[in-house]
Structure 1
Amino acid sequence: MVLDKRRAHLLSIIQHSPDPVPTKELVARMNLSQRTIYYDLDQINSWLRTEGLEPIESQHGKGLFLPPDSKSKLMVSKDQSFEDWQYQLSKEEREVLIKASILLEEQDASMQRFMDLTSMSRGTIAKVIKDIKKEFREAGLHLYYKKGSGYRLNGPEEAKRTMLSTILATIFSHHDWQNVRNEVHRMIQPEADTWSQETEQRRMVREILYEAEKELGLTLTDEMVEILSLQILMIMKRIELHKYISVPEAEKEVLKQTEAYKAALHITNKLEVAFPDDEVCFITMNLLGSKVQQDNFNRYTEQELSGLKEVVQRMIHDFQLYSCVVFDDKQGLEENLISHIKPTFYRLKYGLSIANDLSDSIQTTYPDIFHLTKRVMRHLELYVGKVVPDEEAAYITLHFGGWLTKEKKKVETKFKALIVCENGIGTSNMLRTQLENLIAGLNVITTLSMRDYRTNEYEADIIFSTNYIKEKDIPVIHVPAILTNLEKERVMQRMNELFDSKPTEKNRTDLLMDVIKRYATVHEEDALKKELVQLLEQTTPTIKELRKPMLNELLTEQTIQLKDRVTDWEEAIKVASEPLVKQQSIRPDYVEAMITNVKELGPYIVIAPNIAIPHARPETGVEQLGMSFLRLEEPVYFSEKEKHRAQLIIVLAAIDNQTHLKALSQLTELLSNEGNIEKLIAANDQETVIELINQTIEV
C-alpha cells in the first residue's frame, strides 16, 4: 500500500504538530469535507500499521495526534520530516520530474526512464510529453524524439537555464515535494541519496555561500541558500558537459560593477571547476535576484539606489493616496521595500523565476491590500520595462500589509517572542504584525532564519516558527506565514495553555457526558464521545474577522447629495461632509482638519480629473466609519490648474488603516471606468448613483 500526496500531507500536518490537531483545523487547511478527512485517516492508519507503527489517535476535546514512538520513527533528523515515503506523485510533480530529466539527463531521457521516475503508463506519459513540448516551444526550445537515443532538446543554453531555474524555484516552494527534491538532487549529483543527507560537495558550496553573504553584507533566506547551492552544482555539471551560457558584453560590463560580481568570483574561485566569465556573470545575476532575510540598507551608495529609491517613494506615495492612509514610519517602510524590490528588479530584468507558495493565500486573505499593491506596481513596471507577475506582487503586498495593519498600542510587555521564518523580510514582518496585534503584551524581539536559530542561543518566553523545529528550552508554537482566523484561535489556545496559571476546567465533552448519563443509558460511550467532540469542534466560538463594510453600505440615500454649485473648494468639503456630521460619524473639527490638510499639503485629494477624496487622520474627529458623496454640476477648483478641478467629492472618514479598504477598493473600481464617471456627473437622482454602485459590486 502507498500513500497518495494528499494523505501524505495530512499525515505530515499531524506529525509536525506539537499539539493534537482539531478535525475542523484539518478540514480548513486541507479544504476537504469532514467525511473525507476521516476516510483518509483510516487509510493512513492502515499504512502506519503495515509499516509497524502505531496509528493516529484522538484525544477527546483536543484533536488528533501521532504517538511519540511513531513520530520519532518518522524522523530522519532532529529538524526534518522523513523523506522516504512512497506516495503517489501529483500530476504537477510528475511533469516537473519529466522536464528536469529532459534538461539534466540528456543521455538518459527515455520513455522507460520517465516511467521509472513517475510510475505512469506509457500512454499517460505520451500525453504529458505533448504538453511539455508546447511549454518548451514557447520558451524557444525544441523537444524531439531520436530513435534509439530517447528524447533530445535543442535550443539556446540561456533558455534551458531559465527553465531549470523555474523548476528549482517550484520544487523548493512546495515543502512536501521531498521525493521530487530527492530525484532532482540525484540528477545533478548522482552520488546523492536524499536531500536531507547532504553531500560533501553541496556542504562546501553552502559554506562558500555563507562567506559570500558576509562579503555582500546581507543574509539570504534559508530556502534561497538551498536553491543557489543546487543551482551552482547544476552549473558545474553543465560546464563539465561543455554547455555554456552566453551573456551580452554590455550586460557583462554592468554586472562587473556590482558587489555581487565580486561575491560570485569569490564563490567560483573556491570551486574545483574553471568557470568562464559568462558563467560568473550568470551566478552574479542569481545573487542579485536572491530573496534576503536581512539586508544592511546603509551599505548601498546613493548612486546604487537612486533609481529604485525614486520608484519606491512613488509607490508609497500612490499607496497612501489610493488607500487614504498615512504611514507613520514611512522611512522604515521605504528601507524595507527597497531591500525587497532590489532583488525583484533583477529577477524581472534577467527573467529569473520566483515561486510563491503563499501567493494564493495572500490574495485571499488580503484582497484589498493586494489590489492596492497591484495599482502601484506600475512604477516598477515602467522602471524595469516588464509586467510584474502576481507572485512578485503578492510578496510586496506583505510589506505594505505589515505596515498598514500595525496597531499603535502602549501595552506593557508580558511575553518576549522570537519568530523563526525562512520566507524573507516581508513575510516575517507581516507575521510579526499579525501576532503582536493578536496577543496583548507580546513583543517580538527579532525574526530569525532557521540557520540563526540552530547556531545561536536566544532568550525569550515563546518562539513562533513557520517550519517544524524541535523545542530547546523555549516553548515553540508552529504557525503558517499567513494566519487565518482558525490559526489565530489555535495560537491563542496554545498561549493560554502555556501561560495561563488558572486550573484547566473539565473539558466540555466530559461535562456533557455526565449530564447525558444522569438522564439516559449510554450503550456506546466511545462512539458518543467521538460524535460530541465533532459537534463541539463545529460550534466552538471563533475569532471574529474584521468587518469591512461594502460601498453600498456607506453610500446610501442619506449620504449621497446632488448639487448644482458651491462657492469654492472649502465649501465643497463642508457641504460634502454634512451627512456625516448629521449622522455623527464625524465631528465638525474633522471637516476643519480636511480643509487644513489641503491648505498645507496642496490638492493631493484630487486623485484623478473630476474626482476628489477629502480625508484626514482618524484622531482628528472621526467617531465611526463613514463615506459621503457630493456631485456638482459645476466643477470646483482645488488649485488654478485644470487637472485639479472636481465635480465628484467623496468624503472618507476612516477609523483605522484597514476597515475602509473594501469600500474604497469598490469605489476605485467604480471610478476606473470613464463611462461611470460621466454617468455619475450626469445623474439626476440618488437612485442612479446607487444603481451604479450596486452594478460595480455585483461584477
Structure 2
Amino acid sequence: MLDERKALIINYLLEQDNFITIKEMSVQFNVSLRTIRYDLDSLDNWLVDNGFKPLSRLPRKGVLLESNLKERELIKGRLNSNDFYSYVLSPEERKELVLLNILKESKAVNLIDLAAKTCVSKTTIANDLDDISKWLKEYQIKLIRKKGYGIYVEGNEENKRNAISSLLKELANPHKQTNDNESVEKYIDSLKEWFPNIDLYFIRDEIQKAQQKLMIKFSYEGFVSLLSHLALAIERVSLGKDILMSKEQLQELMSKEEFNIAKSISKNISQFFNLRIPLDETGYITLHLIGSKLSYVGDQENYFKKNSELLLIIDKMIQSVEKDLNIVFTNQASLKKDLYIHLMPTIHRLKYNKPLQNPLLKEIISKYKYIFDACNEAKIYLEQQFKIKVNDHETAYIAMHFGAAIEAQRPKINRNTNILLVCASGIGTSRLLKANLLSYFRAFNIIDTVSYQDVNNYMDSDKIDLIISTIPIKKTKLPVIVVSPLLNKRDIKILSSYLMMNDNFKYNKTGLIMNVMDIISKHCTIENFDALQTDITSLFNNINRLYSSKSSWTPQNILCKENIQVLVECNTWEDAIHKAAKPLLEKGFIDTKYIDSIFEKIKLHGPYMVIAPGIAMPHAGIGDGNVNKTSLSIMTLKNPVKFNHEKNDPVHTVIFLAATDNYTHIETLVHLLEILSVKENIEKLTTSSTQKEIYELLKQEE
C-alpha cells in the first residue's frame, strides 16, 4: 500500500538521474529525515513486491532509483493502476470523508458503512467521532449517536450547507492533486463523486456568464466556491432541504445588482434541471455572488463609486498601519484600489456571516507578525463603520495587501529574466507573491500576473522565460516552477537553482538564507525553524539586490582595524555589550540611546543576538537611537561569558552592528558569517592575540 506522499516520492525519484540525499528529500516534501527513511523502506518493499529492484543507497551520496526507460514506464504504469496502487487516507482526510458522508445523508448512517468506505475499523471511526463532533460545533451543528439507529446531525439548513461547502473545498482542493491539470475542469472532476447526477459544466458556464454581465472575474477560490455552492443548492432543493431567509435580509439582497444575475441563474437552473428554485434560494445565490473573492474588475470607475464610505475607511486604515509600522506608503493609489476590490465582497461576507478560511493564516502571522498586528488595529475602523466582526482569517487577507505594498516600495533595479506569474488565490496573494519574488530575485522581470484560465494567451509569447505558478498547470512549451503563495525556503532553493542553470544570468549568494540556516543547523538545534528564518531574512533584507559581478567588499568599508578588540576581560554579558560598543561610541558612529535600545530588545525578546555557538551579534533596528555611520566592531573575550542562551552559551566573540539602513552593511556581514562558518577560522579567531591577526583573517578572499 502506498499513500499519497510515497507515490509522490517514487515519481520524484523517477525524474532524477543522480543520487538524491535524504536531507534534500526532506526539504522537498517538508517532512522529517526519519519520515523519509521510513518511506524509502516502504518503497523498497513495494518495488520488490512488484518485480523491480530496490532503491540503491550509498553513504554520503543518497538514494537512486536505478532503472532503464522501459522499467520506468512500467513503474509509472503500476503506480497509475488500481491493482497495484492504493491511496491511503490520512487521519484528517478520513475525518473529512466521514463528515461529508454524515452531512450529505438524509438518514442516519452506521459505523460499519463508514468503516468500509474509509478502509479502517469501526473502533477507529468511533474515535474519530469525538473530533468530528467538536468540528461540527463550530457550525452550530450537533452530532447525534443513537445505539441501534446510527449517526446523524441536527442543525439548520444554512449551517449544514456551510459545513458541507467547507469540506468540499478541502476534499477537492486543487493543491492536493498529484497531476498537472489543476484547473476548474479538474475541480469539477473531483466533485463528480459527490454530485454524480448534476451537470457541473452547466453550472460552470452559468458562472462565466455572470462574470461577463457583472464585468468582473472571480478569483479561482471564488469561482470554485460558487461552483460547489450551486451544485449543493441544486442537490439540497431536490431533496426538499430549502434555505430560509428573513424577509429583511431577502429584501436587502433583492436591491442588489447581483440579484438580477442570481434570478437569471435560478431560471436557467430551473429549466435545465426541471427544478423549482425558491425565492430564498435566489437570495442565497445573490449572497454568494456579492461575497466571492475577485481577481479583476472591468468597469473600475463605476465600481469605485459603489461605496464612498469604504474609500474613506481605507484611508483611515492606511494611516493607522503607517503609524503603527512607522512607514509611509508611496504607492497609496494602488494599495487603495486593491484593498477596495478585496474589501467590497469581504464586507458582504461578514455582514451575512460567511467569513473565509485563510489557509495561509499561521504562515502570515509567523512571517508578517508586525503587519498582521497593525492590521488588527486598523480593522477596527472597518468593524465600526459597517457593524461587522473581522476575524483573524479575514485580517490575514488584509495583511497580505499591506505586505505586498511594503515589499513593492523597495528600490527598483534592472532585471533580465521575464516571468509570467500565475496565481489562483486572488489579488492579495498574487501581489504579495510578486513582491516577495522581486525582493529575493533581482533578475526577475514579471511581465504579467494572470489566473490559470488565461495562461494559454501567453503560450506563444517570446517574451516569457519562465512561468511561476501557485498551482500546477497543464504542460506548456515554457518551463514552469510551482511555488507556495508565500514563497517558502524550498521555493527559494528551486528558483535559485533555475537561475544558476541559465547562462544569461550569473547569480551571486544563491539561496543565502538557506545557506545561513544550514550553517546554524550544524552547530545547534533549531527549535523554531520558521521564526529563525524570518528573523534572518529580515536582517539580510533583500541581499540579492546587492549583487555585483565584482565584489565591492573590503573590510575598510565598515570594519576598520581600530574597531577590533582582542581578549577583553568582561564579567557579564552586559559588560561585554558595553565594551564591544565602545569603539563606535567614541568615534561618534552611535550614541548611548542605540545601546539602550539593544538592552530593551533583550529584555523583551531574550538573548536573540546569540546567533551561533560562541558568537553574539548585538544590534537594534533602524531608527532605534542615533546611528551616524554604518559600522561594525569585533571583540574577542579573554574568558567566555554566559548570555543566558539555552544552546549557544558561552560567548567568546561579540560582533557589534550599527546600521543606518537595511542594505549597506549586508555584504560585509555576509562575508564575516561565511568566514566564521568554518571551524578552523573560529579557532584562529579565538586564539588570535592581536588586531592584525584578526583583521587579516577577516579580510581573506572568499
Question: Taking structure 2 as the reference length, what is the TM-score of the superposition?
Answer: 0.65
Residues 70-149 of structure 1: pairs in structure 2 closer than 5 A: 86-107=86-107, 109-137=109-137, 139-145=139-145
Amino acid in structure 2 at the alignment position of 1:415: T
Q: Aligned ranges for residues 187-206 of structure 1 at < 5 Å?
A: 188-190=194-196, 201-206=199-204
Using the TM superposition, give the Cα deviation of residue 393 of structure 1 relative to its aligned residue in structure 2, in angstroms: 2.2
Give deviations 1:235-256, integer Å, cap 9, x for gaps: 1010011101111122122222
Shift in Å, 1:324: 0.7
Offset at 1:32?
3.4
- Kindly tell me: are residues 151 and 474 of structure 1, through their superposed partners in 2, closer, same or farther at Cα, counting changes over 3 Å? same
Q: Does 1:546 align with 2:552?
A: no
- Residue in 2 that maps onto 1:517: none
- Could you tell me which residue of structure 2 aligns to residue 430 of structure 1? 432
Distance 1:228 1:94, change over 3 A: same
Aligned to 2:406: 404
**Correspondences of 1:239-318 after superposition (within 5 Å):** 239-271=237-269, 272=272, 273-296=275-298, 298-301=300-303, 304-318=306-320
1:416-565 matches, within 5 Å, as: 416-454=418-456, 457=459, 459=461, 460-500=464-504, 545-548=536-539
Residue pair 1:169, 1:354 contacting (<8 A) in 2 also: no
Moved more, 478-487 or 227-236: 478-487
Deviations for 1:650-679, whole angstroms, at most 9, x for unmatched residues?
Answer: xx997369x9xxxxxxxxxxxxxxxxxxxx
Distance (Å, rounded) in 1 between the aligned partners of 2:71 and 2:405:
43
Residues 435-456 of structure 1: CA distance to partner in whole angstroms, max 9, x if unpaired? 2222224211111111111465
Q: Which runs of 5 or more residues in structure 2 are unaligned? A: 180-185, 507-517, 523-532, 541-572, 593-621, 633-657, 666-702
Q: Distance in 2 between matches of 1:282 and 1:308?
A: 24
TM-aligned CA deviation for residue 489 of structure 1: 2.9
Residues 505-541 of structure 1: per-residue CA shift (max 9 Å, x gap): xxxxxxxxxxxxxxxxxxxxxxxxxxxxxx99998xx
Alignment of 1:135-174 (within 5 A): 135-137=135-137, 139-145=139-145, 150-173=150-173
d(CA) in 2 for partners of 1:65 and 1:481? 31
Greater relative contact order structure (CA < 8 Å, 6+ sep): 1
**SS of aligned partner of 1:107:** coil
- 1:217 equivalent to 2:222? Answer no
- CA 1:101 to 1:325, structure 2 compared with 1: closer, same or farther past 3 Å? same
Distance 1:390 1:169 in 2: 19
Q: 1:56 to 1:291 in 2, by over 3 A?
A: farther
Match of 1:40 in 2: 39
C-alpha displacement at 1:58, in angstroms?
Answer: 8.7
Residue aligning to 1:591: none
User: Relative to 1, partners in 2 of residues 1:182 and 1:340: Cα closer, same or farther, differing over 3 Å?
Assistant: closer
State the Cα distance separating 1:260 from its structure 2 match: 2.5
1:319 to partner: Cα distance: 0.7
* Alignment pair present for 1:176 and 2:150: no
Structure 2 CA distance for aligned equivalents of residues 203 and 39 of structure 1? 42
TM superposition shift of 1:278: 0.9
Matched residue type, 1:246: L
* Residue type at the aligned position of 2:294: V
Q: CA deviation at 1:321?
A: 0.6
Distance 2:495 2:63 in 1: 15
Q: Write the distance in 2 (CA, Å) between the matches of 1:42 and 1:398.
A: 41
- The letter of the residue matching 1:169 is K
Tell me the amino acid that sits aligned with residue 249 of structure 1.
Answer: K
Q: CA deviation at 1:405?
A: 1.5
How far apart in 1 are the matches of 2:246 and 2:379? Answer: 28
* Alpha-carbon separation, structure 1, partners of 2:18 and 2:319: 45
Q: 1:107 to 1:330 in 2, by over 3 A?
A: same
Alpha-carbon spacing, 1:143–1:171, altered in 2? closer, same or farther (3 Å): same
Q: Does the 8 Å contact 1:413/1:441 carry over to 2?
A: yes
Quick check: 1:464–1:476 contact (8 Å CA) kept in 2? yes
1:604: which partner in 2?
none
CA distance in 2, matches of 1:344, 1:456: 31
The aligned amino acid for 1:450 is Y
Contact 1:107/1:149 (8 A) holds in 2? no
Q: Confirm or deny: 8 A CA contact 1:173 1:357 kept in the other structure.
A: no
Once the 2 structures are TM-superposed, how far is the Cα of residue 320 of structure 1 from its aligned partner?
0.6
> Aligned partners of 1:16, 1:430: CA distance in 2, in Å?
31
1:373 alignment partner AA: C
CA distance in 1, matches of 2:104, 2:98: 10
Q: State the match for 2:693 in structure 1.
A: none
Structure 1: distance between partners of 2:114 and 2:363: 33
**How far did 1:486 drift?**
4.2
Tell me the CA shift for residue 111 of structure 1.
Answer: 1.9
Whether the 8 Å CA contact 1:464–1:477 is kept in 2: the answer is yes
Q: For 1:338, give the aligned amino acid.
A: Y
Is the partner of 1:357 in helix, strand or coil? coil
Instruction: Tell me which residue corresponds to 1:3.
Output: 2
% identical equivalent positions: 26
**Gapped regions of structure 1 (runs ≥ 5):** 192-198, 503-534, 561-578, 587-614, 627-651, 660-699
> Partners in 2 of 1:3 and 1:134 — Cα distance?
30
Aligned-partner Cα distance in 2 for 1:247–1:654: 59
